[in-house]
Every structure is written in C-alpha cells, then in structure tokens.
Structure 1
Amino acid sequence: MTSAPQDPPPLSPRRWWAAFRAWPRGVRLTSYVALGLALVLVVVAVVVVGLVRRPLPQTEGEATLPGLDGEVTVVRDEHGVPQLYGDSMEDLVRAQGYVHAQERFFEMDVRRHATAGRLAELFGEDAVESDSYVRTMGWRRVAERELALVSPTTRGLLQAYAAGVNGYLDEHSPSEIAVEYTVLNAGGLGYAPADWTPVDSLAWLKAMAWDLRGNMQDEIDRVLAQAAVGVERARELHPAYPVDEHAPIVGQGAVVDGVFDQDATANTTRNPLRPAFTADQRAVLGEVGAGLGRLPALLGRGDGVGSNSWVVDGEHSATGAPLLANDPHLGVGMPGVWMQMGLHCRDAGPDCPMDVAGFTFSGVPGVVIGHNAEIAWGFTNLGPDVTDLYLERVRGDEWRYDGRWQPLRVRTETIEVADGEDVTIRVRSTRHGPILSDVSDELADVGEKSRPGRGLAVSLAWTALDPAPTADAILDLNLATDWDSFRAALSSFSVPSQNVVYADREGHIGYQAPGRIPIRKSGNDGTVPSAGWRPENDWTGEFVPYDGLPHVLDPEEGFVVTANQAVIGPDYPYRLTEDWDHGWRAQRIRERLEDAGPLTVAGMQELQLDADHPLAAVLTPYLLDVELPEGYWSGGQELLRDWDLQQTAGSGAAAYYNVVWRNLLALTFHDELPEELWPNGGSRWYAVVARLLEEPTDPWWDDVTTETTVETRSDVLEQAMRDARDELTRRQARDPRGWDWGHLHRLDLRSSTLGESGIGPVEWLVNRGGWEVGGGSGTVDATGWDAAEGYAVTTAPSMRMVVSLGDLDASRWINLTGVSGHPASDHYTDQTDLWARGDSLAWPFTQPAVEDAAQHVLTLVPGADPDAGGG
C-alpha cells in the first residue's frame, strides 16, 4: 500500500540558498540548457524586481484615508521627506500614521514585536531569549498601564495615529506593505500584520529608554573588575569626572528648598561603603550581563551611545538670532531610527495649533526633535542612574528581605515560536523589580549551587518599569511657544532622562534636565549591585523633584553645550550618577565656541564634523619620543610628526594612531582583565590611559604573563607601535603613504532582522555598506568603534541638524539613512552618501519654501466611517 502524495515542504529562503550553493560547479551545460536557464533567470529577475518594488508607496494623486474630517496634503521633496498639511491635529496625526506605514511599517511591526516580547513569532527559536528578557521586564504591560495615564488629548491623538496606520494596512496585502513579508512568507510563515494600537506606540518608548538606560552595565563591570584585579585597581578603571578640566553643562545655581535657582548656591553629598562581592555573587552578575548583551541591536545596547547639542545666543550668531545644533549618537543599522517629517495646520491657530517639523519615530505620533514656528529643541542623553541591580536571596518562590522570607510575585507568560513549540516562562519579582536571572537556566543553577536552598538571583529596579505619561511631553513640546510652556511640556518627560537645549524666536536660549531620577537610601550609591535583603539599599520611593533639576535660561556666557558630560558640579545635593561621559567632546565644543567669531549655520555644521582626537595631544608626544629603527619601523611614527590630530577619512596618521591605540589597550589590559571587560577604547579609557602615561612603572604596564620580565610604559608603547606597523602593512600597504583611516573605519548598515539571516541574497537585498568615514570614539564627529572588536563604526550621529531661529528656512538637516524603509526605494540610503561627506539638506519650513521644494504631492481624502481608533 502506497501513501498518499503530500505537498513538499515550503522551500524557505535558507533552504533555497543552500540548494543554490550546492549546485555542482563542474556541471557543463548545453547551449539549449544554457539558453533556457538564461530565460528562466530573466523571468525570475523580473518577478523578483516586481516583488521588491511592489511595496513602494503612492506619492502622487489621491488616496482614501477613512476617518479624516478634511483633506490632508502630503508634499514630498526630492529626498522623499514628507510635509503634511491639514485642518486639525487629529487629521494630521492620522495622516502621519498613514505615511509612516507607507514608508516604514515593517520596522514598526518588528519593533512592536520586540517591545512585546514576541519576536519569536516572526523569527523562531533564536529570538526566545530576547523575548524572555522583555517579557520578564514587562515592557508592554507597563505601556498598557501608561495609556490610562496620558492626557485625553494625547490618548485621542494616539488613537487617531493608530487609525491612520490601520487605514493603510486595510488597503494593502502583506506583499504590498513590505518585501520582508514576502521573504518571510516564502519560507512558510503565513503572516499578516495585526492592527496597530496606541499601546504599540507607547511600548516603542521603552526601547528608547532601554537604549539610553544609564549605568547598569557599569554596575556589573565594576564587580567583575574587582574580582580580577582587586578593589583599588578596579577603581582606577572608573575615574571620577574631571570637573575642574571639563566644565559641566550648568555652571551656576543650586537647589533651595527643593527648587533649582540658577543664581543660588548649595552643597551636600554622600558616599556609602560597600562590602566585597563573593565569587557566587560575581558569577550570577556576570551571567546576567552576558545575557542582556545578547538582546538584539534594534533594542539598543545602552553602552557607547551619546550625543552632541549646543545652542548659542544672538550675540554669538552672525544672524543676530539663536542657532541650535543637535546630533544624537546611536547604534547604526537599517533603516535608521529617524524619519524626517513636517506637520502643519494650514491655518495655525487655537483650533489647530500644530506647525512643527523635525525628526520622528516611526510608530509614534508627533515630532521628537526639531522646531515649530516659535521654538527649537534638541536632545542628548543625560545618562542618570535610573537602574539598580539587586542580588536577592531566594528559595522556591520566596525571597529574603529584612530578616524574613516573603512570597515572590509570580506570573506565567507563553511565547509563541514560529516553526517550533511554544515556550512558557515564569516571571518572578521582588519589591525591587523582576528577577532577570530567571531567564537563564544556567544562571539559576549557579545561584542554587552556590547557596543550596538559598539560591542567588538578580532583580532589576528601573524607572521605566513604572508607568508614566512621557507621550504627553512629546506632543506638548510640539505645541510649546516659549520657555514656560517648554518647561511645562518637559515636566511629563519621565524616561529616558535627557538634556534638552532650547532656543526661541524672541532670542532666548536655555537648558532643562527632565526625567524621573530615584532618590536612594543611605546604603545604596548605585555604582554596584546592592544586597536586596537589606532595606537600607532600597529606593526611597521619591524622585528628584522636577523643579529641583538643573535648568538655566539665558546663561551669562551666551551658549549651552551638552555632550553627555556632568550636568552640574559636585555640590548639587541630589545624586544623578557617577558614570558621566568624561567630557572630552563637550570641552572641545566649548573651546571652539569660545574661540569662534559670530557663528553661521555653516560654522555650526563644521563644528559637528570636528574630528580632533581627544587624547592625541596627550599621547602623541609620548609616541614621538619612542626610539624606533629608521625605515620600516619608523614609517608610521613619521606620519605623526605633522599630524593635525584630525581623524579625517583620508588621514594615514589617524589610521596609524588608532591602530597603535587599539594595540596599546590590548597590551596593557588584556592580560589582567577578563574578555568581557576588555577596553572599548572610548572616553573613559582616555582618562584611564592619560593617568597611566604619567606613571611609567605603574603595574598596569606590566604583562603578568611574562614571569621574568617587568614591562614599563616605554616597552608597551614601543611594542604597540611595532604591532601597528605590521597590522597596517597587512591590512593596507607597506608604504605608509597608502594608509588611510577610512579604509579601516567603515560604516556598514545592516538590517537587524533579515540582514542577519545568513541568506546571501536576502542580506544583499536589505543591507548596505562600504562607506569610509572619519571621526572616532569620544570625538565631536562621534563615529564610535569598539577597540575590543575592530575598527568598524558601531555608533554614529543618527542625524544632524542646525536650526536658524532668525530664518527657519535657512536651517539644515541630514539623516543617517533615508526616509524610506523599503530596500527598492530611491530614499533607502539616499542621504547616507551626503552624511558621510559631511553634507546636509535644505530644511524648508514655511509653506512657500516647502512648495518650492516639492517633487511629489499626494492628497489624502476622507473615506467612509472609520474604525473608532485602533484600540
């Protein structure tokens, strides 16, 4: 008896590519077969091109959007940047949702799956660990509670935005929405996206908060460093902020009766002592750090990111009015995090006050960074300590606290897995927060084996896990018209805490630090994980009052610089963090502003591209003093003699210096630190090495693996220079005149989903790369790289903008990638070439300027009765 014929399993892209690669190389084809194969390939190519181009959005003519009260006009320029014109705010954000879905829905869909802990539904078992961490932290559960906290106006706009997204989805099949759905469904996924909801928008903000969460990894690193080299030497790897050398953001003012007064003074601080960590405690913490490090890049790394922003008043500006610059530094990938857009009421007034343009998040209504008709604003990460890890003593479903065993809060979550069995996890929490270590079976085993019956666990306290109406702040900022309404808008901005610079058309400039920053009890300074069983390590439940956070209006020096440096001096009574960026970028910007004459828009842009290496002026003289044999070995050293310290893409001296730097770090620290603590070469390591250079026999210089030799500074510098010479000879050329920094320091933009699929044609479709760029870590032109990994760009200015308050149409902007998330679009990376060259685009704002730049016009017209708002 024969079995009934069965359909073959779907040929997934991975199986197809494997079969293609397995085709015998030596097969000889007849002319007829070859001709037939060529015709088949042509047909396949036509079909593939058609499928790839199918999701490209309609940009001209008319399209129906249900729920609109009136028409909305979408005007796109030559780079596809849309400017929307409508007669009500509800219509504008409904249309914004539609346009975001046109250009970026797959990105939006992936992010909502990621923030809900549902990536495994799309990408299978490899995503289960990420989903488990996100479910354990409960990001979407928090977002669901936040929907009830935002104002009725914000809630209504979130619903209108969701309805706009769904209006687009309702009229398009998955293959018409994104080519990525075509690829996934070709593998048998059978997926169609669900409706967008307001909670999806709120959950997106959790991902940004995670990316900019502060010092959580530093807490773990300090403990692991103490285990490797002892408490005192570990402290040398985390030097204090040099407030006397690098000025804080706000150089005046203090808190009086809970309110920050920019003309007052105050003091007070604290520094609690901490007991040493045991081996079992270090093991559990190390495993948590490793697990969190495996979260997908689209959720952010929370490490190595920063930003620049500064604002100058009219006396420092050639226009006589303020100028404001901003370039947030984030991880690189496809598509970029920002989408430029304008939202304009045709007749701006009390009934329809929106008239704003700037950088938006696809999935979130409104403009996040930009300007309206009256004010401009920019963000950098404040980086306060808003996370604490707690070591917990647990047994079964109980945890130890204040001398008693108490029940853990427990819930169950089920993760659906594409092409696999569902995974059920138990999420347990203490009063401090969710237990992250439950995600890893290995971690649980470590804790149990170290303390039988009283295992160790690690919980997370994080301000973003408490619901707050941050979405109110975004929309209120869009409508602010002066300093008071700007500050009122930011009072709702809870996470992530930011430095926000300000300028207005009246000539004022300012700075405000918003955010929910916890006040800790006396036993917890936030620098290392705390013992969760001790009540003195808890948060008080209070936060730094908004009115007590640093802010300044029209400072005497006439400018404000924020580049992740300390916000204010050590006498400030509230503890914000100990882990500031060390201020090299900020100080360079300040010095350039102090030395500059009246600034133009072009001058502000030139400063954004400053590639001066922060440590080069300190380290280079030591390198020039090293005695190397003439000829081969001294070739790189000769480049340094005339180096201007700028890390331009074509600089051979910059290439040599950075390769020396990487080798110096490896020779100095790799022998004593575990691999997970190897230096990334950023700002903190500049401070560490700057001190060591003054101590030629410091123990750090010695290579502990050479038992009979004690190396000194001169030994390490010479070996680093020799190793760099050999490395550049291998990588580039024997002749140093053939070296250049950009050849090493390349920008590759990869999709964090299909771009990591391992399927060649798919990766080719969605990834882009090969840009040779200048700049570096800790540089104003902050194209960061990880010295523990290589020279490739890992973080970069995700956009750059300069706003001219004297003539808004004279402002400039540029995006790291492009407006579109569609690989077949001309606007997928059409701004990247310009970005890499340091160029920018005109930023038209007034309606005549927008109309002059128009290339495509789409009119969205009202349709039939809408769905009431997308949930």
Structure 2
Amino acid sequence: MRFLFRWLLRLASLAIVLAVVAVALVYYLASRSLPDYSKELSVAGLTADVEIVRDNSNVPHIFARSDRDAYFGLGYAHAQDRLWQMMLLRRTAQGRLSELFGRRTLETDSLIRRLDLYNLARSSVEAQTPETLDALEAYAAGVNARIEEINNSSLGRGAPEFFLFDARMPPWQPADSIAVIKVMALQLSGHLSEEVLRARTSLALDDPDRLADVLPDIPGDGVAALPEYAELAPGARRHAELAPASGEDFLMPLPERGQAGASNAWAAAPDRSASGGTLLAGDPHLGLTAPSIWYLARLQLSSGGVIGGTIPGIPAVMVGRSQQLGWAITSSYLDDQDLHLEELNPDNNNEYRTPDGWAEFRTRRSIIEIKDAAPVTITQRWTENGPVLPGSVYDLGSITPQGHVMSLSWTALSGSDTSMSAAVGLMKAGDVREAIDVSELYVAPSQNLTLIDDETVAMKTIGTFPRRAANHQSRGRLPSPGWINTNRWQGRLPYDQNPEFVAPEGGIVGNTNNKIIDRDFPRHMSFEWGDSQRVMRWRAMMQGREVHTRDSFIEAQLDTVSPAARTLLPLIGSDLWYTGEAAPEGTPERRRRQALDLLAEWNGEMNEHLPEPLIYAAWLRALQERLIRDDLGPVADAYDHVEPLFIERVFRDIDGAAAWCDVVRSAAEETCTDIARLALDDALVWIDETYGTALESLRWGDAHEAVHEHQVLGEVPILKTFVNIRQSTSGGDFTLQRGRTSGAPEHPFRNVHAAGYRGVYDFADPDSSVFIIATGQSGHLLSRHYDDLGQLWRRGEYIPMSLDPELARAAAVGVTRLRAE
C-alpha cells in the first residue's frame, strides 16, 4: 500500500509539474506578442521618421512630416494592438471565416459571398480621391511593416488567438480597409429585418388594422394605407404555417432587430455656451465586444492635429476633432434597403421576370473552404435589383411564395463606393461648410453628421438616398414584386436634398436616432426610426438650461432617466395602485402590493443600484408577451424588446388598440387592467425564480450587466473568464445613457449594445475636451491596457483629449520611433 501511495504521489507531482510547465509555456508564447512601445525600428515605405508617443492611457499620438507617413504610423499602431481584430474583420468581409472555424460560420460566409462585399470593395479602390488612395496605400504599408516585424522577430504570431487558429497573415491591401467599411454598413443597416418582420406580422394577423399598433409609426403626419403583404405576394403562407425566425449564425454581422445602430450627438452654438465657444457631444452605439470596435488615436496631418475614435482597419478618425472642426455621427435610419420578390421562370429556373420579360440571373460560382470538412460550392445570383438572398436570412423563406426568390437593393452594394474618401477628407476640412461639401462622397451606411467649428453648429444627413417612384406599391416597407418598374429604384436623390440644419435658430442641434424630417413619400427619408423616447429626455435637458457647458453635456450623455417608464407606468398601473385588499405576508397579492409601492415612489431612473428598474422592466416584458402571443403565435418571438408606442396605444385605446388585451382563445373578455395585473404576477414569479430575494434587495445592475464578449473565445470554458469583460451598468433601452438589452430568454436584460465611445468637445478650450472607450486600447488579453479604460467608462469618467504634444509625452507609457530605411 505504501508503495502504491508513493507512486500515486509521484504521478500527481509529475502531473502538477507538467501543468505548471504547460501554463508557463503558454504564457511565454502568448506574452511574446505583447507590443513593446519603447523601441526604434527601421522600416521600408517611409519618406521620413515617424514618432508614436503612447500617452498614459495607451493612446498613440502619431507625429510625422507628411500625411502619408502619418497614415503609415496609424496602420502600424493598429496592427500592434488590434491585429487579430483586423484579420477577423477582413475574413468576415471576404467570406472566409469557415477556413478558421469550420461549418459554424458557413452560413455567414455564404451570405457575405452572395452580397459580394469584398469584390465590390476591390472595384471601389480606383474610385477614391488621389489623397485617399495615398492614405490607403500608406496605411496598408504600416500594417504590413508590423506583420513583417512579427514574422522576422518571432513575436508570438502577433496575437494569442493566432496560436489557436490559422496564423497565416496575407499582406493588408487598400481594398481591405474599404471592405471593413462595408461590413460596418451591414451591421448598421436595419431596414431589411424590418421589412421581413412587417411581412411576417401582416401574414400572422387576422385584422390588418392591428399592424399599425404593434409596428407603430413615429408620431407625425399619417402614413397612407399599405396593401397587405398577402396581396403583394400571393401564395405567401399565413398563420400556423409560419416558422419562427431562425437563430443567428456564429460571427454573423447581420444585426438583430433594434441593434442595427443607435447613437447620440448634440451641439451648442456660442450663444448657448457658457464659455462662448461651440460645444459637441457624441456617443455612437454598437454591439459590445472585447476589445471594443473603437480605438483612440491622434494623427498629426499637414492640416493640423486630428484626434478621436478610429476603427482598426480604417485609416481615418471616424469621430473626433481637429484644430478647426469637431464631428460626431448617429445612425440616420435612412431607408436604404429594399427587398424584391423575383418570380422564377417555371420552365427555366435560371431566369427571372423583369419588366421586359424573362432574363438570366448574373451568376458566379464561389468555393468556400471549410476547416476539417470538404469545400462547399455556392452559386451567387444577382438580378437587376441586387443579389439573391438565402431563405435563412431573417427567415426570408417564410414569406417567400413558392416559385420566387428574394433579392436586395442596398446602397452599400456599390462598386464605386467613395465613403472612404469622405472619411479621409473630413479630417482635413477647415469648417462646417467644407465638411458638408466633402461628405457628398459618402455612400453608406447613412449617418447624421453633427458638426461644429469655432462659430457654427450643424447637422447633415450623409449617404446615398435611393429614388423611389411615387406609386411604389409598398413604399419600401414590405417586399415588393421586382418585375414591376415602379417598385424598382430610379437612381438616387441629389445630395442637396439630404436633410441639412446649419446654424439653427435656438443654437442647439442634435439627434438620438429620432425622426428628423416629415417629408412626403418618396422624399420621406424613412418610415422607421431608431428612437421615439430618448429624444424627449434630450429635449428637456437641452431646453432646461439657457447656456450649456462641457459638464452639462456630459450630464446629458450619462443621464439614466427613462421617459418610457415615466409615461407607461401611470398608464398600466392606473387601476392597480392603492386599490387592492390587505393581504397576508407571503401571498402573491402582498408581493404585488410591495412591487407597486416601490414603483409608486420611483422617478424612472434606471440606476444600477435600485430594484425598481428591474421590477419595471420585467413587468413590461411580461405585459407585451401577454398582449401579442395569442395573436401572433411564433412570430411573437421576434418581438423580444418592449415597444413603448405599442403599449401606449393599447392602454390609451388609440384606434381600438385595446383589442390586444382580450385573449382571443379564452371565453371571457379580458380588460387591459386584467392583463396588467397578470403580467405583474408573471414578472414577480420570474424575479423570484431568477434572483430569489426580497424585492427591496434587487439590483438592476445585476440584470443589466454589460458583457463585452470576445467574439471568438468568449464562449470557451475557463478562457471566457479571462477574455470577457463584465460590468454592472445603469441605463436601459430608452435612456440617453443607452444600454440596449439582449432580449434573450436566458438573460433578457443583459447590456449588449451601448456607447462604446463617448466624446465631449469644447472649442472655447479644446484641450479640456474628453473622450473614452468601453474597454481598453489593446486587444491582447495579457496587456494591462486590455480593459483599463473599462472601469472609467462604467463610472462615467473620461480621459483628456488633447492635441498638445507635451501633454502626450508626460508620463507616456512608451515612444516608438519608426526609422525610414
């Protein structure tokens, strides 16, 4: 026995030693790719030396003697910190993820290949301005200089992820940067999903008048009645035949409904500023990832310094300021996507109907290489309207009649896309008017560009506006027959017709993705908008002060009061407050009374430390589920977020919307009060099962946890503990400090889509401007800069946004000198 014990002890000791050695080896290999920020390096491709000063927050300040060398330095810095992220974005745009991840990403690659994003990016290279071509080539050379350094010096393959996946890194090309913009356009475009949902809902409803309730228009002038989708698409399946929407594929860049893009931006003219200078605040919202999609950087160009938020892979400051100009972007919600039904020739499925008869699809075969599996060959098909989409995209198959396919018209499907030239030109614009003029080159994704110079504030919608016929059958709100001329796009509207607000009366301009114009179709811009709630709080905060300061703009940016909660709670609880009988402790009636008492004293602030936001959110979620489930069946799964305008229409009984409160499949006739009471009980049961604690002890932040998930390693056991960043957060779906919830059954209130970048710029004292990103500058999980800015972001703090070189050098974490060979 002692002999056996000794050998077991020896084997256990050996296993421990081997484990320690393995961990040490893994750490050593991974740490080899940690960038050295204090060094000198001779590189080819420079005309003069470049200096990259990393300030205390690891923001690179790139000093060069020419613009070309500055872009080279930005490419090098991006590749130092975010090489894996850049390679993943490029593979996404190329439809080559399956070479790394196997069949998990086959659907993603198939869709991207059918859209042909990368080939469109390649053909767009020659459309750029000479200055932009120079920037793209120099940036690519900077990225490739870092790749060459990694290969020559055995720097751990450049990032730890490359030890787990294919380490081959082809040289970066100018087309790669344009392709990244196209992937971002896909992530920020939501009208495709809205058209599909509107069609699915139309087919599920018995009463077509109820469609305006559950998919309400933003208040304003009315919209003319639309045909039912069944009229546009005879043979489309109704009711029980409809399948629930399919789940997302791994790394699919298609946005979930409601997460196509959101953001805030507002500006104040000198006469509305306490300091006498213009003010600008901006915080674009995207899905939370680790690392963030945003990367802070400063460039010294011939026109002066430029600083702000960049996207690795793109040689431009996308949001930020120069010495003359400040700019911010918000998703405009321009309707720049249309679905078209394409009828197949019953005698030849290689042909589809056009206004002039049958025509052949434009086709190309494409081979998708798959890790550990045989390659798959797909056939890309294009019509005159655009590419044919697979039926799995947003469950398009459920609304496509037999003998038809669905094609997509989309402004981003341009082979002469000059959006990159607009982004590069914006950095050198000298004033608001010059910035508006250069932005005519911008194609997609459409944005509202908020601008300030020393004297003027402005907002301009940029991006291509499709021209539709006045008698378009669905007005772009539903898939329409593509063989009818009036349903096809008729070119584009002139840029001068894009909404523009320069030096507005009142001195304040801004956007929260709210409705900004109310023009008649077809010059309407959009029927779908991203916000009907935050704008009410923003308007109150802007008009609540005669003059503003940098701090008042920060206060608005971080505001967590929900106007939706303030509006809806009095409506849904009007017959429940103070009307119940006394109930003993431990009964559902007593617990309901406790919840109502807490909500009665609540001001609508979605503070992470309070219980009321969680009770309110759970109640509204349960209420909407009870209202729509019996009418919509499986289509109700797509409505995973509360729509405040729908709830308000129902409880105010606008146009008979209270009919939603009656459960169709029950004999009794339920009232809205009945449904509100039942929904509150549902919510309290769910809270008890999920959190199991007294209502007073609940914390909204426990449910509204911001999860910055690593896109590849975030679900891997053990590793996810190190690569994912989790933070308790305030805010919600309808607060200015927006934290869009997931809507997923297992974690419905998890914060998954928020302001990954925040910036506030004061032109009275530009060096007092501030900014922040949601994680850290580095994408390397062993770097102290992987998440060091995350806690500042969570607490609503910022770091200085200065163009003063000496401030950058003070307490710098390193200085890299790139020597021209």
Q: Structure 2-normalised TM-score? A: 0.92
* Match for residue 328 of structure 1 among 284, 288, 292: 284
Inter-partner Cα distance in structure 2 for 1:398 and 1:218: 28
- Residues 291 and 640 (structure 1 numbering): CA distance in 2 closer, same or farther, change over 3 Å? closer
1:236 paired with 2:213, answer yes
Inter-partner Cα distance in structure 1 for 2:193 and 2:399: 20
1:86 paired with 2:80, answer no
SS class of match (2:236): helix
Inter-partner Cα distance in structure 2 for 1:675 and 1:56: 49
Aligned residue in 2 for 1:276: 230
Inter-partner Cα distance in structure 2 for 1:444 and 1:740: 42
The one-letter amino acid paired with 2:215 is: H
Aligned residue in 2 for 1:223: 199
Instruction: Give CA deviations for 1:733-779 in whole Å, capped at 9, x if unaligned.
Output: 442221111111111121222324xx31343343222x111111122
1:515 paired with 2:463, answer yes
Contact (CA 8 Å) 2:628, 2:636: kept in 1 or not?
no
Instruction: Give CA deviations for 1:446-504 in whole Å, capped at 9, x if unaligned.
Output: 97xx64xxx11011111111132111001100000112211122111110111011111
* Match for residue 410 of structure 2 among 462, 466, 491: 462
Inter-partner Cα distance in structure 2 for 1:354 and 1:289: 54
Aligned residue in 2 for 1:578: 527
- Residues 151 and 842 (structure 1 numbering): CA distance in 2 closer, same or farther, change over 3 Å? same
The one-letter amino acid paired with 2:201 is: A
Instruction: Give CA deviations for 1:802-824 in whole Å, capped at 9, x if unaligned.
Output: 01111111011110111111111
Instruction: Give CA deviations for 1:629-677 in whole Å, capped at 9, x if unaligned.
Output: 5433311111112112100001111111111111111111122224444
- Structure 1 residue 365, shift from structure 2 partner: 0.4
Contact (CA 8 Å) 2:328, 2:449: kept in 1 or not?
yes
Aligned pairs, number: 790
- Residues 849 and 638 (structure 1 numbering): CA distance in 2 closer, same or farther, change over 3 Å? same
The one-letter amino acid paired with 2:489 is: W
1:114 paired with 2:92, answer yes
1:384 paired with 2:334, answer yes
* Match for residue 101 of structure 2 among 123, 126, 134: 123
- Structure 1 residue 408, shift from structure 2 partner: 1.3
* Match for residue 117 of structure 2 among 127, 133, 139: 139
SS class of match (1:389): strand
SS class of match (2:573): helix
1:716 paired with 2:675, answer yes
Inter-partner Cα distance in structure 1 for 2:553 and 2:103: 48
Inter-partner Cα distance in structure 1 for 2:595 and 2:670: 23
Aligned residue in 2 for 1:400: 353
SS class of match (1:519): coil
Contact (CA 8 Å) 1:224, 1:282: kept in 2 or not?
no
SS class of match (1:388): strand
- Residues 236 and 332 (structure 1 numbering): CA distance in 2 closer, same or farther, change over 3 Å? same
- Residues 439 and 743 (structure 1 numbering): CA distance in 2 closer, same or farther, change over 3 Å? closer
- Residues 283 and 844 (structure 1 numbering): CA distance in 2 closer, same or farther, change over 3 Å? farther
Correspondences of 1:747-766 after superposition (within 5 Å): 747-756=706-715, 759-766=716-723
- Structure 1 residue 722, shift from structure 2 partner: 1.6
Contact (CA 8 Å) 1:112, 1:200: kept in 2 or not?
yes
Correspondences of 1:129-528 after superposition (within 5 Å): 129-173=107-151, 175-184=156-165, 189=166, 191-230=167-206, 231-243=208-220, 273=227, 276-277=230-231, 278=233, 280-281=235-236, 290=245, 293-294=248-249, 296-298=251-253, 300-301=255-256, 303-304=258-259, 305-345=261-301, 352-395=302-345, 396-402=349-355, 404-437=357-390, 451=402, 455-467=403-415, 468-505=417-454, 507-521=455-469, 522-524=471-473, 525-528=475-478
* Match for residue 661 of structure 2 among 695, 698, 701: 701
Contact (CA 8 Å) 2:213, 2:657: kept in 1 or not?
no
Instruction: Give CA deviations for 1:819-844 in whole Å, capped at 9, x if unaligned.
Output: 11111111111111111111111222
- Structure 1 residue 598, shift from structure 2 partner: 2.6
Aligned residue in 2 for 1:686: 644
Aligned residue in 2 for 1:255: none
The one-letter amino acid paired with 1:412 is: R
Inter-partner Cα distance in structure 2 for 1:228 and 1:423: 36
- Structure 1 residue 44, shift from structure 2 partner: 1.7
- Structure 1 residue 354, shift from structure 2 partner: 4.3
Gaps of 5+ in 1: 1-26, 245-267, 346-351, 864-871
SS class of match (1:755): coil
Contact (CA 8 Å) 1:269, 1:573: kept in 2 or not?
no
Contact (CA 8 Å) 2:296, 2:777: kept in 1 or not?
yes
- Identity fraction in percent: 29
* Match for residue 49 of structure 2 among 58, 62, 71: 71
Does 48-57 or 674-683 show the bigger shift? 674-683
SS class of match (2:230): coil
Inter-partner Cα distance in structure 1 for 2:645 and 2:6: 63
Aligned residue in 2 for 1:251: none
The one-letter amino acid paired with 2:464 is: R
Inter-partner Cα distance in structure 2 for 1:826 and 1:206: 32
Gaps of 5+ in 2: 584-589
Inter-partner Cα distance in structure 2 for 1:682 and 1:807: 41
- Structure 1 residue 182, shift from structure 2 partner: 0.7
Inter-partner Cα distance in structure 1 for 2:480 and 2:465: 18
Aligned residue in 2 for 1:7: none
* Match for residue 601 of structure 1 among 550, 554, 565: 550
Does 54-63 or 689-698 show the bigger shift? 689-698
SS class of match (1:703): coil
Inter-partner Cα distance in structure 2 for 1:743 and 1:372: 40
* Match for residue 850 of structure 1 among 804, 808, 819: 808
Aligned residue in 1 for 2:757: 799
The one-letter amino acid paired with 1:773 is: T
Aligned residue in 2 for 1:260: none
SS class of match (2:663): coil
1:780 paired with 2:736, answer yes
Instruction: Give CA deviations for 1:581-606 in whole Å, capped at 9, x if unaligned.
Output: 34311221111110024322222111
- Structure 1 residue 569, shift from structure 2 partner: 2.5
- Residues 289 and 670 (structure 1 numbering): CA distance in 2 closer, same or farther, change over 3 Å? closer
Contact (CA 8 Å) 1:392, 1:399: kept in 2 or not?
yes
Contact (CA 8 Å) 2:204, 2:238: kept in 1 or not?
no
Inter-partner Cα distance in structure 1 for 2:354 and 2:422: 37
SS class of match (2:412): helix
Instruction: Give CA deviations for 1:195-239 in whole Å, capped at 9, x if unaligned.
Output: 110011000011111112241111111111111114211122222
Aligned residue in 1 for 2:586: none
The one-letter amino acid paired with 2:751 is: V
- Residues 299 and 109 (structure 1 numbering): CA distance in 2 closer, same or farther, change over 3 Å? farther
* Match for residue 841 of structure 1 among 794, 799, 802: 799
Inter-partner Cα distance in structure 2 for 1:360 and 1:42: 40
Inter-partner Cα distance in structure 2 for 1:176 and 1:751: 19
Contact (CA 8 Å) 1:609, 1:838: kept in 2 or not?
yes
Instruction: Give CA deviations for 1:267-314 in whole Å, capped at 9, x if unaligned.
Output: x99776566345743589x99995694362555446333110000112
Inter-partner Cα distance in structure 1 for 2:362 and 2:247: 22
SS class of match (1:78): coil
SS class of match (1:527): coil
Contact (CA 8 Å) 2:519, 2:525: kept in 1 or not?
no
* Match for residue 515 of structure 2 among 556, 559, 566: 566
SS class of match (2:90): helix
- Residues 54 and 577 (structure 1 numbering): CA distance in 2 closer, same or farther, change over 3 Å? same
Contact (CA 8 Å) 1:647, 1:654: kept in 2 or not?
yes
